[in-house]
Homo-oligomer: A and B are copies of this chain.
């Protein structure tokens, strides 16, 4: 084909549009929930018609499933990265959540349809639940690892994971891109908070007060110092 590289191929165009549809739908799902979202509304915001969506997805539920899959894919990718590079349970966990959060906050990304898992079609649900459970189990394993290696405070891993996921999954419903924080700032702030909630290390402020007596802390926990706000344009 001529126009090489310049004019996008037909299939490129198709997947670009598909992607746009998915993004728009995901944002709607995040904001209003699956059932309150209408295809009409999604289409209108894209400047297309409702039926055009059906060229890219077989039905509404497929949009949800695609969201779910993407989130889970990102989750497992983060998990792999974190497991490979983290030095102890807590650090691994922090890496997972930081990556997960960054993914959620990325405007381009599909999002926390995790909240809407119940809306999946029965045939998709089993697989989705299995994936999600696998992810949660992996996270729990990291907690246990952290408890073992002393980086995480003794606790119930299941409860902790649900709590942290609650905090994280909730973000897309209240975070506004044009709001007070940049995505980066938010991710950092949340990560610190989550980290503190399970760390065996005293919080930084305390560390400073105690360090004269005895060196405490693993250093790694200060790896993400608060950066000055790099606010996006409104």
Q: List residues of A whose CB falls within 8 A of some B CB.
A: 31-36, 115-116, 118-119, 153-156, 158-160, 162-171, 173-174, 180-181, 186, 189-190, 192-194, 196-206, 210, 213-214, 216
Q: Is the CB of B181 within 8 A of A162?
A: no
How many of these chains are in the complex?
4
Tell me the complex Cα distance, A168–B163, Å. Answer: 7
Q: Find chain B residues with CB under 8 A from A163 CB.
A: 167, 170, 190, 193-194
What 5 new A-B contacts, CB under 8 Å, besides A115-B173, A155-B193? A33-B35, A36-B119, A153-B196, A159-B193, A200-B205
Q: Is the CB of A203 within 8 A of B193?
A: no
Q: Is the CB of B205 within 8 A of A198?
A: no
Q: Find chain B residues with CB under 8 A from A165 CB.
A: 170
Tell me the complex Cα distance, A43–B34, Å. Answer: 23
Q: Is the CB of B206 within 8 A of A201?
A: yes
* 9 A-B pairs with the lowest CB-CB distances in the bound complex, closest first: A166-B170, A202-B202, A197-B197, A35-B35, A166-B167, A167-B167, A163-B167, A159-B189, A35-B36
Least CB distance from A174 to B in Å reads 6
9 A/B residue pairs, CB under 8 Å, sorted by A: A33-B35, A34-B35, A115-B115, A153-B204, A155-B192, A160-B193, A166-B174, A193-B198, A201-B206
Q: Find chain B residues with CB under 8 A from A33 CB.
A: 33-35, 116, 118-119
Contacting A32 at CB < 8 Å: which of B118, B201, B213, B214?
A: B118
